Structure 1
Amino acid sequence: MVIGLSGNTTWDPSIITTLAANKSITSWYPDYFSYNPNNIFLLVLERIINNSLHLIGITSYSAFIMILGMISYFLIDVSIFILFIALKRIFNCQVSILSGIFTWFLLALSPLGVIPYSDILAFLISCLFLYLYSLSVNYQVIVSVGILSGIAFLVKPSLIIFDVALLIVKLFDLKQAKKPLKAIIIFSLSFLIIYVPFNAYKSHNSIVRIDSTKAIPANHFIAMGMIGTGGYNNEDVLANHKIKNLQERKKYNNRVIIKRLKKFGVAGYIKFLVLKQINNTSDAGFGWGMDAGQNYLMPFGEKISIQRITRKIYLNNQSFVEINWNGWKIVNQLVWTLALAFMIVATIKANNDSLILKLTILGGFVFLLLFEGGRSRYLIQFLPYLIALSSFGITQIQANKEFP
C-alpha cells in the first residue's frame, strides 16, 4: 500500500509534510500553523525525520512521504503488540487475540497509513495508555502516565479523555486510592514537564512563525460541529479568519452556537445528534475518501505492477480516491458491524475491568458530538478501547451461553 498509494494531497497532512520537508507553504496556506497551532508537534516530529533522512543522503520528497507511510504501518504493528500485552493482563489471552484480529482487519489492512497524519500516532498513544493501566499502580507508572498524557495533549487534546475516565475509575476504587493528592501532584508535574517546555518552544520555534492572535478558539469547533453533518464547514472557517481580534472571534462563535441551538429547538437538536452519531461511527473505512476528489490523494507516478493492483482496489481510475473502495471495503464494513454488535453485549454485561473502556468510549462519543466530527476518522484515536470492549463482549457470550 505504501508503494502503490503514497502521493500528494492538498489537505492538512500535505501542508505539514511540505513544511517539514523544508519546502515553502507561503503560496498555499502561509498562516496555517497560526490558525492550527495544535499541529506544531507533528510538524516538529516530521521535520526531525526529514532532517535525519538528509543526513544519510535521502532528499527526495516522494521518498520522505513513503518512509513516513512505512513508519505509520510500523507503529500500527507495534500498537497491536502493545494492545495484545495490555489486554492479556487486564482480561485474558482470548480478548487480546480477538483484539489483534479486529485491529488487523480495520486498521493494519486499511490504506489510512499512507497519508501521514496524527491519527496513527494517536492510536499508538491509546494503546500505551491501556498498557500503563494494566500495570500495578506505583509512582513510576503515575509519572509515565503523566508524561504520556503531556505528549497526547500535544498530538490530540481529546486523547486525555482517558485520564478523565481513569480518574473516575480510581475515585471508586478505594483500595487503589492511597495518597490520592500526592498521586495527582506527581501526575500534574509529569504532564507539565512535557507540555510547558514544548508550549514555550512553539512560540519561539525556528521552523514557522506563529501569530497567536490568529489561533482558532475551541468554541469555533463546537459551532462547526452544529451544522451540516457536524463536520468541517468552510464558511465557518472563513468567517473566523476574517475576524482579526481573538476575543471578538470567541464572541462571534458563541453567538453562532446560540443561534444554531435556537434554530434546532430541543427535538431538532436531539435528532441532529442522533444523525451525527451515525456519521461519527458508521464508516469502517474511517473517512478514507470522505474528502473525495482529485485532490484527496494524487499518487506518485506508476512504475510497477504492485502500484496498479493497490490503486485498482483503493482508488478510482488509478488516479484519485473514491468514497467507496472497489469491493474491499465491504469486508471492513462487515467486521466493523460485528464489532459494534459485540460492544453492545459488553455494555450490557457489568464488569469492573471494562469500566475504563466504557467511560473512555462514552467520553469520546460525547466529545465528537459536541465538537467537529461527522466522520469515523476521528474514532481512530479511540479504536483501542472500542476494539477491546468488542473483544470482551465476544468472550462474555462464550462465558454465558444462556445470554440471548
Structure 2
Amino acid sequence: MDWLTLIAVDSAALINLLIARLLGKQYVRTLWFIQALGLLIFPMIIVPYTDTWVLPVVASGLLGTAMLFSKNRPWWLRILGAVVTGVATVAAGILKPSAIIPMVAIVALAAASGLRYFKWRKLMIGAGLALILATSSSLTYVGLQGAVKRQHFLAVNPALKIPAIHFINMGMSGCDGSYNPDDALKMAELPAKKDKVAYSQKMIKKRFKEWGIGGYATFLVRKQGYNMEAGSFGWLGEGTFMHVGQPDRGWRWIYQPLLYPTGANTKLFFFVSQLVWIGMLNVTLCGWQRRDFWANALRWALIGAWLFLLIFEGGRSRYMIQFLPAMLLLTTITWEQAVQVITRALINIGFKQVKGAVTQQ
C-alpha cells in the first residue's frame, strides 16, 4: 500500500508536467520546481490514503481535457483526449466521486464557450467528440462495474451502500461539518436505504432549523476556513496511524524528526508547509488578471471543489489533496501575472513609505 501511494503521487506529478507541456512549454520549468518543492513537504506520500490514490486518475482526466480542448492540435490527439477524459472521469467517480469535479467543470465551461461562439462546423466537431467521450465513459463504467461483480476477493453488498444525502447531513454537523461518528453509526444500524435517507433528511431539517439562515451562512464561512487552513493537510492531526520509536539513522533521519509523532522538529515542518501553502493561495489569488480559457476552467474546478466540500462532508484540509493537480496547474499558469501584481503592490507600498518619511522630515 505504501508503494502504491508513492507510485500514485509521483505518476500524477509526471502527468501534470505533460499537461503543462500541452498548455505551453514555458510552464514546464515553473511546474517542475513547484511540484519538487511540494513533494518535499508532502507527508501523505508515505501513508495509504484514497485521496492520494486518485491523484493520477484526476491528472489523467485533466490531461485528457488538455488534449481535447487544445488549439492547433492534430485531430487524432483530440479524439484520444475525448477517450482519456471519459475513462478517467468514470474511474475517478468510482474511486472518489468528488474527484470528477475538475473534469466536469472544464467540459462544462468548454461547452458554454462553444455555444457562445456558435458555428455549425465547430458544433459538429464538438458533437462528435462528445459522442466519443460518452461512449468511452459508458464502456468504462460497464467494464469496471462488471469487474467488481466478478471479483471474489471482497464481498460487495450494494444494498449497504450509503446514500449521498448522508454526507450532506454530516456536512452540516458540529462546528466544521466534518466526519460525525454518530451519523456514521446510524447508517450501519439502519439496513434499508429508505431508512438511511429518511434519517438523513430528518437530521438535515433539524440542523438547518437550529442554524437558521444567518447561522448557516456563518457556519459555511467557518467551514471553508477549516477546508483550506492547513498546508500540512492535517498531518498528525487526527487518528493514531503511525507507531514508531526513535528516528532511524542515515538518510531517513532527515525526514523522520520532521514528520514522525516522536520527531523533535515537527513544528518546523508545519511552519514550512504552511508558508508554502499560503504562497500558493496568494499566487492563485493575485493571478486574477489571467483570464483565458484554461485559467478560468481551473478556477471553476477549484470553485466546484470548494462548493462540494461546503455542501458535503468537509472540515478537513486533507480533502483538498484530490484537487491538487488542478490547483498546481492554476498556480503555474498564473505565476507570471501574480508576480507582477505582487511586485507592483510591494513597490507602491515602499514608495508610499518613502514619500511619507520625506514628508515628515
Calculate the TM-score normalised by the size of structure 1.
Answer: 0.74
Measured in 1, the distance between the counterparts of 2:339 and 2:305 equals 28
Q: 1:401 to 1:317 in 2, by over 3 A?
A: closer
Query: Is 1:298 the equivalent of 2:230?
Result: no
Matched, 1:211 2:157: yes
Aligned to 1:220: 166
Which amino acid in the other structure matches residue 248 of structure 1? D
Does the aligned pair in 2 maintain the 1:397–1:403 contact within 8 Å? no
SS at match of 1:341: helix
User: Which residue of 2 is the match for residue 116 of structure 1?
Assistant: 48
SS in 2 for 1:298: coil
Answer yes or no: is 1:312 the counterpart of 2:253: no
SS at match of 1:116: coil
Deviation at 1:301, TM superposition (A): 9.3
Question: Secondary structure in 1 aligned to 2:188?
Answer: helix
In the alignment, structure 1 residue 268 sits paired with structure 2 residue 205: no
2:22 and 2:66 in contact (8 A); partners too: yes
Q: Which amino acid aligns with 1:161?
A: I
Please say if 1:286 is aligned against 2:206: no
Q: Deviations over 1:144-196 (max 9, x none)?
A: 21112121112211121123212222221347543433333321221121212
Partner of 1:381: 322
Distance 2:160 2:258 in 1: 41
| Residue 345 (str. 1) matches residue 286 (str. 2) | yes
Residue of structure 2 equivalent to 1:127:
59
Identity of aligned residues (%): 25
Check whether the contact 1:224–1:233 (CA below 8 A) recurs between aligned residues.
yes
The separation in 1 between residues aligned to 2:20 and 2:255, in whole angstroms, is 33
Would you say 1:257 and 2:204 are equivalent positions? Answer: yes
**Residue ranges of structure 2 left out of the alignment (5+ in a row):** 68-72, 346-361
Q: Distance in 2 between matches of 1:243 and 1:227?
A: 19
Whole-angstrom CA distance in 2 between matches of 1:326 and 1:402:
30
1:178 to 124, 136, 160: 124
Counterpart amino acid of 1:236? D
The letter for the 2-side match of 1:369 is: L
Greater fraction of residues in helix: 2
Aligned pairs for 1:41-60 within 5 A = none
Q: Secondary structure at the match of 1:227?
A: coil
**How far is the alpha carbon of 1:403 from its aligned partner?**
5.1
Aligned 8 A contact 2:57 2:92 in 1 = yes
Deviation at 1:235, TM superposition (A): 0.7
Tell me the secondary structure at the aligned position of residue 231 of structure 1. Answer: coil
| Shift, 1:305, TM fit | 4.6
- Deviations 1:334-377, CA, capped at 9 Å, x for gaps: 11101101111223542223121011111111111111111111
- Measure the CA separation in 2 of the matches of 1:354 and 1:306: 40
Of 365-374 and 391-400, more deviation after overlay is shown by: 391-400
Per-residue CA deviation, residues 8-52 of structure 1 (Å, 9 max, x unaligned), is: xxxxxxxxxxxxxxxxxxxxxxxxxxxxxxxxxxxxxxxxxxxxx
Q: Retained in 1: the 8 A contact 2:305–2:323?
A: yes
Change (3 A) 1:140 1:315: closer
- Cα–Cα, structure 1 residues 178 and 170, in superposed 2: closer, same or farther, change >3 Å? farther
Q: 1:204 and 1:148, CA in 2 relative to 1: closer, same or farther beyond 3 A?
A: same
Please show how residues 316-395 of structure 1 align to structure 2 within 5 Å. Answer: 316-317=261-262, 325-395=266-336
> In 2, distance between residues paired with 1:307 and 1:138?
44
Q: Residue 135 of structure 2 is aligned with which of 175, 189, 192?
A: 189
Amino acid at match of 2:210: K
Q: Is the 8 A contact 2:65 2:82 kept in 1?
A: no
For residues 167 and 313 of structure 1, what CA distance do their matches in structure 2 show? 41
Indicate the residue corresponding to 2:337 in structure 1.
396
Secondary structure (helix, strand or coil) at the match of 2:29 reads helix
The 1:99/1:230 distance shift into structure 2, 3 A limit, reads: farther
User: Contact between 2:244 and 2:260, CA under 8 Å: does it hold in 1?
Assistant: no
Corresponding residue of 1:57:
none
Indicate conservation of the 8 Å contact 1:126/1:381, yes or no.
Answer: yes
Provide the rounded CA distance (Å) in 1 between the counterparts of 2:257 and 2:246: 14
Aligned equivalents of 2:38, 2:3: Cα separation in 1: 18
Report the counterpart of residue 34 of structure 2 in structure 1: 102
